[in-house]
Amino acid sequence: MQNYDLIVVGAGILGLATAYQARKAGAKVVVLDKGATAYEASSRATGYLSLRGETPEESPLAQMAEKLWDGLDEELGYPTEWTQRGRIWAAVNERELAELKELYQSFEKTDIAFEFVDGQALRKMIPSLTDSCLGGIHTPRSGHANPQRTSQAFAWAFTDLGGEIREYTPVLEVLATGGRVKGVKTPYGEIHAPRVALCAAAHNTLLLAPFGILFPLAPVRLEALVTTPMPPLFDQCFIGNGLSVRQTKRGNLHMNGGPYEWIDLEIDKESPKPTTPIVRNILRRAIETIPLLKGAQFLRSWAGIVDMAPDQMTTIHLFDNPEGLLTVAASGHGFGMAPAVGVAMADLALKGATSLPIEHLSLNRFRHITSDWREKRRWHAGQYNT
Amino acid sequence: MSPRTVVVLGASGVGCRFALAANAAGHRVTLVDEHPQALKDMSIDAPYFYGAGLPAALNNANAIAQSFLEANPELMECLESGIDVRLSTILWGAFRNGENSIHIGTPKAGLVSREGNELLDHDVLVIASGVRDFVPSFLGWELPGVFGAKAGLALLDYYGVFEGERVLILGTSDIALRLMRSLRSKQITVAGVVEPGSSIAAGPEAAAWIEGEGIPVHFGKVIASAKGKVAVEGARLVTLDGTGSEEIACDSIAVAVATLPNVELPAAMGCGMRFSTELASWVPEVSIQGETSVDDVFYLAPKADEAMIEAMLARISGAARAEWQPSSLTLADASSYIQQWIKSLHQTGGPDVIMCQCESVTRGEFCHLEPPKYLGQGMRTSQTPTNQTDNPHAPRLDQDLVKRMTRVGMGHCQGKRCRDEAAFTLVQRFGIDAEDIRPGSYRFPLRPVDLSLIADDDETDDIRLNWQMWPYETRNA
Ligand SMILES: Cc1cc2nc3c(=O)[nH]c(=O)nc-3n(C[C@H](O)[C@H](O)[C@H](O)COP(=O)(O)OP(=O)(O)OC[C@H]3O[C@@H](n4cnc5c(N)ncnc54)[C@H](O)[C@@H]3O)c2cc1C
């Protein structure tokens, strides 16, 4: 009963997208999660696709993702709320404007249509934007979707094809013999398969450590919230004044931002993700950015955990030893990347290679990193806003 | 003993008694209660379900505040004894250092009132948040004139502004009896009582009182619909098999099936919770000293006695922490009464009744996990929310999933109206025990709050200048 072609560890959006593509290609796949489907970052994200002007090595993959996003509702058969209306990254003071202009040089290294526009142009796109907005980067393409709905769409599309998801089943250990992956160990027994895809966000680090592999990922807690619904204000992805703010199809303003708290994880435990009084500062900034929001009410807040690599890029890696093992993690922008990641990971798992542009994303780029990298970076547990 | 700073949430009888005792013992006490509420907050139906028919007299805030105090002698006593009493104040969140959040400093209670907001430093938090109305859906439950028993009692006894003249009561439990007694003491007509079972849930004594008052009892029936164009003019009752029906003339329909404890604060703070069948609710696990799994956070159940208050106070004043103990309260089984109502209402009313007023979602759409209508898109295959797992301790179903897919519980009322009916509907529909559901999560703020009131207006430079533009500023570090 337990002979699968592929075990996917983690039912977040990256694991589910991987599982869906592998199942679609005919593999027998089981997804295991220590909690419920998409209960971690994948349901807590803001929901943007970023075309990665700030990390040009990733932007070819992000562009692939965008193409897939455009057909995703139809592909999966469930609504994702995908809204392809561009992305605005605005500066609301001189300091931010200078920083953005500098960052824009990196954007220009891609072949994506980005443009630097002034405050007036941005206010034309978002009339409710504060007068103090001085300008910013406009990406005419890109868009946003509903994270929980999209993750669940992948989950249902996967199970519709006969895939299997087992929740509340933590993977304690990856099993290997003679240089080959054999399966995984859970508290309820072993499950066997010749291929294991680790899509467990920052838990990947813990699951790979027994093999002497260092996957440098630092978990960090971030806060988010929504307001009550407002009349339609804008439908682009908006970033500015230290916040990401998106208006949902229902009208709620969904936002995240603010200080980070670096934390540690345990392998089989759900990490607490408390909200802090910082939500008051997020709301203050929201009003500064879009003064009309004064008229809304604060409805709900939560926090989520992001898995950050030293260079803040996505990592996709197929190991030679143990053979059959592969892993992915996306440094806080895995939601937008997921449709493309799923294809690349399924290719790697089933064919050992992919034509997707991931050549700069392997773990090899960290081969000189030492195990104390988090301390050096001041990203170790307990650090706040570093 | 060194005096400690204690925040008590909830100026109910037991909250006030605890505050007085703690004050007398030398602790510095702040007592917080959201009542009397602003009209806008009352319209959200939390904690009491006022429905859409709020009496105009509630607009007179001063008169309302006055009659609220007069109706609460224990609260008056708190004021007179020098306790820092904060009325019309919402405790929207509480924060303390814990796993993955170690930069809070002294524990903080987030308070917000019409004047603005404040983070109150304290040592000890005592949650005496009382109960709220449980109001299941039926056709027309959004009409002005439909309200919950606690809301009715507040209008009658606290504010003295009740406008109904002929009240139909749904349910025969203790809370229904309290409401009827209050109505009758004010010479208001009780048009009848509706009970799906065959006896008065509050017992034979209550049955005798109802008979003595000459109040008609409709056994074996539930409400099919509230009638009326702009407000309640009557109600149609049906027998459980749907064959017989009758109309009752009334201008108010009081839903008095049950009350449920307000547990959003301990739940949102991450206190250990368990399902209590007697209370039909997830409640915090507490020690015999009333302490939750979070140090220095106490939960004072609505029916807590003097011994509990004493034990809690001893612990706060320095006694060693006691072991867990299961609740010793022996109460009627509220779960089966609530379930009987939901089952009868759903069986007679069918799947097309709106269950979530904020988001206009029907019972049927909820059970089928259908996406909201404004998306204009369906699902390729119909789905069920039950999960697959080998873990014997795992929840069988996650209410948050159903909530996020259907939006039942995600609206303006934060699920205060519908979350319990939603949970018990899942229990019935998918044949799962209530304790095997992972209940929908509670989040801060505990009530919807105006952005202009809650936004931080005295932001420190530390926060102001070190705010990270996630995540890019760190990329070259
Ligand atoms: C507040 C916030 C805002 C964000 N905004 C955006 C955005 O706008 N755009 C964007 O692209 N991204 C955004 N992100 C990041 C995005 O959410 C993540 O990159 C993405 O969800 C990662 O998906 P994942 O599947 O790798 O991780 P997760 O969703 O965290 O899933 C990992 C899963 O692995 C499971 N797991 C872990 N260990 C084990 C184990 N031992 N055994 C079994 N299962 C295990 C976990 O339970 C979890 O379900 C945001 C994140 C946060 C927190």
Which DSSP string corresponds to B174-217? Answer: HHHHHHHHHHHHTT-EEEEEEESSSS-TT-HHHHHHHHHTT--E
State yes or no: pLDDT of A125 exceeds 90.
yes
Residue B242 lies in a domain: yes
- Indicate which atom in ligand 1 lies nearest the CA of residue A16: 25
Peptide bond into B385 cis (omega under 30): no
Same-domain check for residues B298 and B236: no
- Copy the structure tokens of residue A381: 């547990």
The CA distance from B59 to B45, in Å, is 17
Q: What's B225's domain CATH number?
A: 3.50.50.60
Would you say the CB of residue A14 lies under 6 angstroms from ligand 1? yes
Same-domain check for residues B221 and B305: no
Confidence of residue B477 (pLDDT cuts 50, 70, 90): very low
Q: Does B387 touch chain A (CB under 8 A)?
A: yes
Q: What pLDDT is attached to residue A258?
A: 87
Q: Which residue in A229, A274, A280 is closest to B101 by CB distance?
A: A274
Q: Does B458 touch chain A (CB under 8 A)?
A: no
- The verdict on a CB contact (< 8 Å) between A280 and B456 is yes
Residue B160 lies in a domain: yes
Residue B145 lies in a domain: yes
- Indicate which atom in ligand 1 lies nearest the CA of residue A169: 43
Q: What pLDDT is attached to residue B326?
A: 58
State yes or no: pLDDT of B473 exceeds 60.
no
pLDDT, tens digit, for every residue of A315-333?
Answer: 999 999 999 999 999 999 9
For chain B, the farthest-separated pair of C-alpha atoms sits apart, in whole angstroms, at 81
A129-153 average pLDDT score: 97
The CA distance from A338 to A16, in Å, is 9
Contact A220, A261 (CB under 8 A): yes
Would you say the CB of residue A198 lies under 6 angstroms from ligand 1? no
3-state secondary structure of A277: coil
State yes or no: pLDDT of B329 exceeds 70.
no
Same-domain check for residues B127 and B141: no
CA distances from B137 to A312, B172, B231, B336, B348 (A): 49, 17, 17, 17, 12
Would you say the CB of residue A219 lies under 6 angstroms from ligand 1? no
Q: Which domains does chain A have, with CATH numbers?
A: 6-70+147-216+311-370 (3.50.50.60), 87-140 (no CATH)
pLDDT, tens digit, for every residue of B287-307?
Answer: 999 999 999 999 999 889 999
Ligand 1 pocket mutation pick from A243, A247, A335 by most atoms within 8 angstroms of CB? A335
Would you say the CB of residue A315 lies under 6 angstroms from ligand 1? no
Number of independent structural domains in chain B: 3
CA B103 to chain centre: 31
Same-domain check for residues B280 and B219: no
- The verdict on a CB contact (< 8 Å) between B398 and A301 is no
CA angle A359, A364, A370 (to 5 degrees): 150
B402-411 average pLDDT score: 96
Enumerate the residues of chain B whose CB falls inside 8 A of the CB of residue A304.
none
Would you say the CB of residue A217 lies under 6 angstroms from ligand 1? no
ipTM of the complex: 0.96
Q: What pLDDT is attached to residue B476?
A: 41
pLDDT, tens digit, for every residue of B46-88?
Answer: 999 999 999 999 999 999 999 999 999 999 999 999 999 999 9
A289-295 average pLDDT score: 97
- The verdict on a CB contact (< 8 Å) between A295 and B451 is yes
The residue to which tokens 């007592």 are assigned: B31
Q: How far is the CA of A334 from the centre of ligand 1 (A)?
A: 7
Same-domain check for residues B166 and B227: yes
CB-based burial of residue A369 (10 Å sphere; 0-12 exposed, 13-18 middle, 19+ buried)?
middle
State yes or no: pLDDT of A121 exceeds 60.
yes
C-alpha distance from B398 to closest chain A C-alpha (Å): 8
Q: Which residue in B101, B110, B407 is closest to A261 by CB distance?
A: B101
Supply the DSSP string of B297-332, one letter for each residue: EEE--TT--HHHHHHHHHHHTTPPPPPB--------
pLDDT averaged over every residue in chain B: 94
Contact A233, A130 (CB under 8 A): no
A286-307 average pLDDT score: 97
pLDDT, tens digit, for every residue of B96-118?
Answer: 999 999 999 999 999 999 999 99
Same-domain check for residues B169 and B212: yes
Q: Does B459 touch chain A (CB under 8 A)?
A: yes
Residue B47 lies in a domain: yes
Q: How far is the CA of A272 from the centre of ligand 1 (A)?
A: 14
Residue B193 lies in a domain: yes
- The verdict on a CB contact (< 8 Å) between B407 and A274 is no
State yes or no: pLDDT of A1 exceeds 70.
no
Report which of B69, B232, B257, B235 is spatially closest to residue B149, judged by C-alpha positions: B257
Residue B167 lies in a domain: yes
Of all helices (H) and strands (E), which one includes residue B41?
Answer: helix B39-42
Same-domain check for residues B251 and B201: yes
Would you say the CB of residue A258 lies under 6 angstroms from ligand 1? no
Enumerate the residues of chain B whose CB falls inside 8 A of the CB of residue A261.
100-103
Same-domain check for residues B168 and B203: yes
Enumerate the residues of chain B whose CB falls inside 8 A of the CB of residue A184.
none
The CA distance from B266 to B294, in Å, is 9
The CA distance from A193 to A2, in Å, is 8
The CA distance from A146 to A43, in Å, is 8
Interface probe, candidates B369, B402, B474, chain A, greatest A C-beta count within 10 A: B474
Same-domain check for residues B206 and B274: no
pLDDT, tens digit, for every residue of A209-238?
Answer: 999 999 999 999 999 999 999 999 999 999
State yes or no: pLDDT of B325 exceeds 80.
no
The CA distance from A301 to B448, in Å, is 11
Enumerate the residues of chain B whose CB falls inside 8 A of the CB of residue A156.
379-381, 383
State yes or no: pLDDT of B331 exceeds 90.
no
Would you say the CB of residue A208 lies under 6 angstroms from ligand 1? no
Half-sphere exposure of A96 (CA within 13 A, CB side): 24
Q: Which residue in B99, B389, B475 is closest to A54 by CB distance?
A: B475
- Indicate which atom in ligand 1 lies nearest the CA of residue A36: 49
Residue B64 lies in a domain: yes
> Minimal Cα distance from B447: which residue of A?
A299
The DSSP secondary-structure symbol of A323 reads B
Ligand 1 pocket mutation pick from A31, A46, A139 by most atoms within 8 angstroms of CB? A46
Q: What's B390's domain CATH number?
A: 1.10.10
The CA distance from A157 to A165, in Å, is 12
Between chain A and chain B, the number of residue pairs with CB atoms below 8 A apart is: 213
pLDDT, tens digit, for every residue of A359-371?
Answer: 999 999 999 999 9
Would you say the CB of residue A10 lies under 6 angstroms from ligand 1? yes
Q: Does B101 touch chain A (CB under 8 A)?
A: yes
pLDDT, tens digit, for every residue of A260-285?
Answer: 899 999 998 899 999 999 999 999 99
Report which of A351, A327, A352, A321 is spatially closest to residue A341, judged by C-alpha positions: A327
Same-domain check for residues B390 and B282: no
Q: What pLDDT is attached to residue A13?
A: 98
Q: Does B398 touch chain A (CB under 8 A)?
A: yes
Peptide bond into B471 cis (omega under 30): yes
Would you say the CB of residue A199 lies under 6 angstroms from ligand 1? yes
Domain around B283: 5-131+261-316
Report which of A148, A256, A301 is spatially closest to residue B443, judged by C-alpha positions: A301
Peptide bond into B284 cis (omega under 30): no
State yes or no: pLDDT of A110 exceeds 70.
yes
Q: How far apart are the first and last CA of chain A?
A: 48
State yes or no: pLDDT of B262 exceeds 80.
yes
Instruction: Give per-residue burial for A39-71: e unless 16+ CB within 10 Å, then b.
Output: bbbbbbbbbbbbbbbbbbbbbbbbbbbbebbee
Same-domain check for residues B49 and B158: no
Same-domain check for residues B252 and B151: yes
* % of chain B beyond a pLDDT of 90: 91
Would you say the CB of residue A19 lies under 6 angstroms from ligand 1? no
State yes or no: pLDDT of B475 exceeds 60.
no
Q: How far is the CA of B41 from the centre of ligand 1 (A)?
A: 35
For chain A, the farthest-separated pair of C-alpha atoms sits apart, in whole angstroms, at 65
Residue B334 lies in a domain: no
CA A151 to chain centre: 11
